[in-house]
């Protein structure tokens, strides 16, 4: 339509100029000097309007191109609530991006985690909640409840096509094979404008101020900080004779030549990728995402992971890429094993002192048999739609005061 208007305007101008010129030629001897000036003025105005219209068309085209090019391939932002009420914070303090993956069948876990973070900090937190198509409406209705309406969040749809050729189906892996498990590999795309971010699984509760975790110092050249398995407080309290469960050999197949060529000691302590702090500037500089994808593809082709994988399938590529190239977080910021029978060995005092509780393992706090489910349930908000419900066989009391 704009092009048509442009052509019509241009044609009208030519007709007008031709008409005036014809009149001038036929009556030039009768025309006064004043009339000539008027004609020149009219022609000048017509040309000015023509140029102005042409420039407007160019500007409109430019704006349309900028809008159409603003999308992110593979990860599609769904909605953002930037103007929700915020806690009073120091104006010099930067916002804290927290990334959580939220699948439909575990949505209650993400809600409880978000609620615990929001109520234990005075910092400005933005939650980047990664979901699959179909979960957004359910999540949005849950977040609109009175308890959570003050949070700031963005919902991002994860495109499973990103994982094509990088993941091999394995029914024995269960939840660890679900697409959202790999969202942590794509942090710079999820949070494109941030220099630093926190990632955490949906089966956690935060009891400390998230600002302390965010301020974890990372050494120069390190793109992330994890909690190491061998040195964690939870491991020392719970695990006895764990064997290879917390070493590299528990995750990687050292019989494979490609693994041996990396010259990584099999006895090296592994780390837990369920909670970590990322320096996204360094992550981008080192192309961490591309490195992780490389090892995912190689595993599909050559089977590089241990057949008796000690933990999540996301752990092996992270162990390779971050071998002796990661910082550590305070172990009290990832007190784990609450999702296994070992978690029952924790004392109530130790659980109360933890900054972050992690129900990694087969038993989740929204199920029947996990440890300290009452601590988790304190932060759970019932689903207003009724789709998600807790599974409870009996009331468990932890006697935490």
pLDDT tens digits, 346-394: 999 999 999 999 999 899 999 988 999 999 999 999 999 999 999 876 5
Please give the share of the chain, as a percent, with pLDDT higher than 90. Answer: 61
Tens-place pLDDT, residues 199-214 = 999 999 999 999 999 9
140 and 275 in contact (C-beta within 8 Å)? Answer: no
What count of other Cβ atoms lies within 10 Å of the Cβ of residue 331? 21
Residues 322-347: what's their mean pLDDT? 94
Is the predicted pLDDT of residue 77 greater than 90, yes or no?
no
Reading phi first (left if > 0) and then psi (alpha if -120 to 50, else beta), residue 164 is in beta
Concatenated DSSP letters of 130-189:
EE-TTSHHHHHHHHTSTTTTT-EEEEEEE-GGGGTTT----GGGGGGGSGGGGGGGGHHH
Tokens of 231: 């040195």
Is the predicted pLDDT of residue 239 greater than 60, yes or no?
no
Is the predicted pLDDT of residue 37 greater than 50, yes or no?
yes
- Long-range own/partner contacts, residues 119-122 (CB < 8 A, 24 or more apart): 119/379, 120/206, 120/207, 120/208, 120/209, 120/210, 121/87, 121/96, 121/209, 121/210, 121/211, 122/87, 122/88, 122/89, 122/209
317 and 296 in contact (C-beta within 8 Å)? Answer: yes
Q: How far apart are CA 335 and CA 318, in angstroms?
A: 20
Confidence bin at 341 (pLDDT 50/70/90): confident
Is the predicted pLDDT of residue 32 greater than 50, yes or no?
yes
Confidence bin at 180 (pLDDT 50/70/90): very high
More confident residue, 289 or 34: 289
pLDDT of residue 56: 41
Look-up of token digits 């974890």: 216
Which residue, 148, 155, 101, 90, is CA-closest to 124? 90
CATH T-level fold of 96-232+271-285+321-378: Spore Coat Polysaccharide Biosynthesis Protein SpsA; Chain A (3.90.550)
Confidence bin at 225 (pLDDT 50/70/90): very high
More confident residue, 334 or 343: 334
Confidence bin at 4 (pLDDT 50/70/90): very low
Tokens of 372: 């300290």
pLDDT of residue 147: 86
Mean pLDDT is highest, among 7-16, 36-45, 144-153, 373-382, for: 373-382
Helix, strand, or coil here: 333?
Answer: helix
Tens-place pLDDT, residues 105-119 = 999 999 999 999 999
Parallel/antiparallel/unpaired status of strands 327-328 and 224-228: parallel
Which residue, 320, 289, 286, is CA-closest to 302? 320
pLDDT of residue 230: 83
Confidence bin at 72 (pLDDT 50/70/90): very low
pLDDT of residue 235: 56
Mean pLDDT over all residues of the chain? 80
- Of 97-101, 165-169, 248-252, 385-389, the one with minimum mean pLDDT is 165-169
Mean pLDDT is highest, among 6-20, 176-190, 208-222, 357-371, for: 208-222
Mean pLDDT is highest, among 39-43, 156-160, 277-281, 343-347, for: 277-281
- Of 25-34, 50-59, 112-121, 321-330, the one with minimum mean pLDDT is 50-59
Domain extents in the chain: 96-232+271-285+321-378
Residues 89-98: what's their mean pLDDT? 74
Tokens of 81: 């609530």
Confidence bin at 168 (pLDDT 50/70/90): confident
More confident residue, 188 or 82: 188
pLDDT of residue 392: 78
Q: How far apart are CA 144 and CA 253, in angstroms?
A: 47
Q: For the packed helices 107-119 and 136-143, what is the interaxial angle rounded to 10 degrees? A: 30
Residues 129-153: what's their mean pLDDT? 92
């Amino acid at each position: 339509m704009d092009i048509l208007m442009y052509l019509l305007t241009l044609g009208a101008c030519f007709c007008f100029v031709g008409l005036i010129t014809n009149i001038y030629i036929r009556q030039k001897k009768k025309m006064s000097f004043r009339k000539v000036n008027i004609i020149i003025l009219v022609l000048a105005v017509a040309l000015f309007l023509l140029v102005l219209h042409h420039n407007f068309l160019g500007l409109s085209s430019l704006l349309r191109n900028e809008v159409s090019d603003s999308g992110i391939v593979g990860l599609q932002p769904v909605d953002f609530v930037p103007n929700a009420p915020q806690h009073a914070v120091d104006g010099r303090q930067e916002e804290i991006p927290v990334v959580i993956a939220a699948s439909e069948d575990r949505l209650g876990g993400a809600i409880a985690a978000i609620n615990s973070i929001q109520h234990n900090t005075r910092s400005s937190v933005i939650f980047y909640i990664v979901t699959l198509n179909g979960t957004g409406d359910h999540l949005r209705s849950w977040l609109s409840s009175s308890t959570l309406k003050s949070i700031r969040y963005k919902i991002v749809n994860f495109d499973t096509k990103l994982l094509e050729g990088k993941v091999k189906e394995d029914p024995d892996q269960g939840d660890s094979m679900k697409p959202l498990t790999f969202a942590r590999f794509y942090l710079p795309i999820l949070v494109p404008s941030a220099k630093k971010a926190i990632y955490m699984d949906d089966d956690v509760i935060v009891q400390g101020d998230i600002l302390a975790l965010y301020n974890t110092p990372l050494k120069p050249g390190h793109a992330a900080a994890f909690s190491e398995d061998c040195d964690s407080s939870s491991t020392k309290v719970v695990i006895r004779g764990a064997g290879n469960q917390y070493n590299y050999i528990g995750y990687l197949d050292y019989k494979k030549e490609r693994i041996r060529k990396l010259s990584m000691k099999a006895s090296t302590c592994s780390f837990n990728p369920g909670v970590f702090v990322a320096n996204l500037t360094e992550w981008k500089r080192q192309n961490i995402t591309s490195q992780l994808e490389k090892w995912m593809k190689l595993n599909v082709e050559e089977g590089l992971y241990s057949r008796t994988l000690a933990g999540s399938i996301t752990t092996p590529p992270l162990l390779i890429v971050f071998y002796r190239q990661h910082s550590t977080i305070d172990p009290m910021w990832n007190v784990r094993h609450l999702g296994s029978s070992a978690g029952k060995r924790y004392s109530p005092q130790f659980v109360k002192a933890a900054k972050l509780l992690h129900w990694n393992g087969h038993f989740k706090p929204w199920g029947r048999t996990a440890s300290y489910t009452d601590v988790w349930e304190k932060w759970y908000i019932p689903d207003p739609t009724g789709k998600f419900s807790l599974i409870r066989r009996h009331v468990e009391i932890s006697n935490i005061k």
